[in-house]
Amino acid sequence: MLTEYRRALHRIPETDWQVAQTAAYLKSVLSGLPCEVFSPVENAVCAYFDFGSSETVAFRSDMDGLTVSEQTGLPFASEHPGKMHACGHDGHMAILLGLAQELAKKKTAQRNVLLIFEPAEETTGGAKAICETGLLEKYYVNRVYGLHLWPGLKKGTVASCEGGMMARSCELTVTFTGKSTHLARWREGDDALLAAVNFVMSAYAFSDGLPCLLRFGKMDSGEVRNSVSGRSVLEGSLRCFEDTVYEQLRRKLSELAETIEKRSGCKVEISCSEGYPPVTNDAALLSEAKTRFPIAETEPTYITEDFSVYQRHVPGVFFLLGTGDTEPLHSPHFDFDESVLQTGLSLFCALIGR
């Protein structure tokens, strides 16, 4: 069952919000079950199992694939050129479909259950749009769980950690506008390249030692080799596990921009994407989960996940499900032993309770 679901979904990867075929497949599986099936936003799919409780537990899976050309050679490889489920979302959906089948057999449960299949996790983040509908409040959700297949973690191992587990993200763009002159008259110009270099060095200096990641991976500057650069653009990323550290660094970057402006004569502008909040696991829920299922400890990672948006509304826990020594996520060769899907299903069944 789980393998069938996973392979059917693997054949039809779609990206961003354009996941209509995926949504149709999910609805076709869910439609015959004793649950309410609906779309809170376009192409998202939800299934609500009402057991007559005043509380509801939610489980979330992402739906979208990646713009990756598959090179696995699998007999059920992507039928959509240039697109692939290279991040395991086909497996995540299969687990939730399996959970739906288990719920259909139950007469009673400790809580009602809401299954959320979310588009656009890899791009703009579907969680925000879903939460803004008031879905969690309408169905009295008081806890939420999710998981991600995880290469490098022992196959079949479930892992998590208390508190900050995945980072808050912010994609930084810093633009320096100076004045270009011939190098022979460099004192008459305002060197945007030098200003950018000084900005990077100072930013690295004050961020070192803090629980964060602040790095720039790209710089475009100047027009020709024999003129002072009149414009430079830095592109990088700021990631933190705590909002207080994030706000502290944002202030410091703004103060640094003002200092560089005064010293260099260049105008400095910082833009920062909204990004995702940090994934912060609820200690009480994780402790309870450990009494129901074996869960290993994992180290926090600077990778980001918009599951964090749900945690801004209700307490939740995110888990990693080990695939062992596989190709990394986002690789065109990514595949995994499908037996781990049963482990994910067993975890979620345990979290439902009686």
Indicate whether 266 and 146 sit together in one domain. no
Is 122 marked active-site?
yes
Q: What pLDDT, in 10s, does the model give residues 148-167?
A: 999 999 999 999 999 999 99
Measured at the CA of 208, the angle between CA 207 and CA 214, to 5 degrees, comes to 50
Indicate whether 29 and 128 sit together in one domain. yes
Is 261 marked active-site?
no
Indicate whether 73 and 186 sit together in one domain. no
Q: What pLDDT, in 10s, does the model give residues 180-191?
A: 999 999 999 999
Indicate whether 179 and 134 sit together in one domain. no
Indicate whether 160 and 220 sit together in one domain. no
Instruction: Name the average pLDDT for the chain.
Output: 95
Q: How many folded domains does the chain comprise?
A: 2
DSSP string, 215-266: EEEEEEE-SSTTB--SEEEEEEEEEESSHHHHHHHHHHHHHHHHHHHHHH--
Measured CA to CA, the distance from residue 350 to residue 302 in angstroms comes to 29
Report the candidate in 124, 111, 119, 95 with the shortest Cα–Cα distance to residue 50: 111
* CA trace torsion 27, 31, 32, 35 (10° rounding): 120
Question: To the nearest whole percent, how much of the chain has pLDDT over 70?
Answer: 100
CB contact at 8 A, 354 and 187: no
Backbone angles phi, psi at 93, to 5 degrees: -65, -40
Question: To the nearest whole percent, how much of the chain has pLDDT over 90?
Answer: 89
Of the residues 272, 300, 317, which one is the last residue of a structural domain?
A: 272
Q: What pLDDT, in 10s, does the model give residues 205-225?
A: 988 888 889 999 999 999 999
Report the candidate in 319, 305, 326, 324 with the shortest Cα–Cα distance to residue 350: 319
Measured CA to CA, the distance from residue 88 to residue 84 in angstroms comes to 10
The residue annotated as part of the active site, out of 14, 90, 118, 122, is: 122
Give the pLDDT band of residue 273 (cuts 50, 70, 90): confident
Give the pLDDT band of residue 123 (cuts 50, 70, 90): confident
Measured CA to CA, the distance from residue 240 to residue 23 in angstroms comes to 33
CB atoms within 10 A of CB 213: 15
The residue segments making up the domain with residue 182 are 168-272
The residue annotated as part of the active site, out of 14, 62, 70, 305, is: 62
CB contact at 8 A, 301 and 167: yes
Indicate whether 8 and 133 sit together in one domain. yes
Indicate whether 345 and 235 sit together in one domain. no
| Amino acid (1-letter code) at residue 304 | T
Of the residues 272, 294, 312, which one is the last residue of a structural domain?
A: 272
Indicate whether 184 and 301 sit together in one domain. no
DSSP class of 142? E
- Predicted local confidence at residue 354, as pLDDT: 62
Q: Which two tokens stand for residue 217?
A: 């991976």
Q: What pLDDT, in 10s, does the model give residues 245-269?
A: 888 999 999 999 999 999 999 999 9
Provide the CATH number for the domain around residue 85: 3.40.630.10
Measured CA to CA, the distance from residue 313 to residue 201 in angstroms comes to 38
Tell me: pLDDT of 320 over 70.
yes
Provide the CATH number for the domain around residue 184: 3.30.70.360
Q: Looking at 133-232, list the stretches that DSSP marks H as alpha helix, in order from N- to C-terminal side.
A: 135-138, 192-207
Indicate whether 113 and 234 sit together in one domain. no
Of the residues 236, 256, 272, which one is the last residue of a structural domain?
A: 272
Q: What are 297's strand-pairing partners?
A: 160
Task: Decide: helix, strand or coil at residue 347.
Answer: helix
Indicate whether 20 and 60 sit together in one domain. yes
Tell me: pLDDT of 307 over 90.
yes
Q: Which two tokens stand for residue 87?
A: 């991040």
CB atoms within 10 A of CB 25: 20
CB contact at 8 A, 349 and 102: yes
| Amino acid (1-letter code) at residue 256 | L
Indicate whether 301 and 341 sit together in one domain. yes
E strand or H helix at 130: helix 126-132
Indicate whether 44 and 118 sit together in one domain. yes
Residue found by looking up tokens 């169905």 in the block: 139
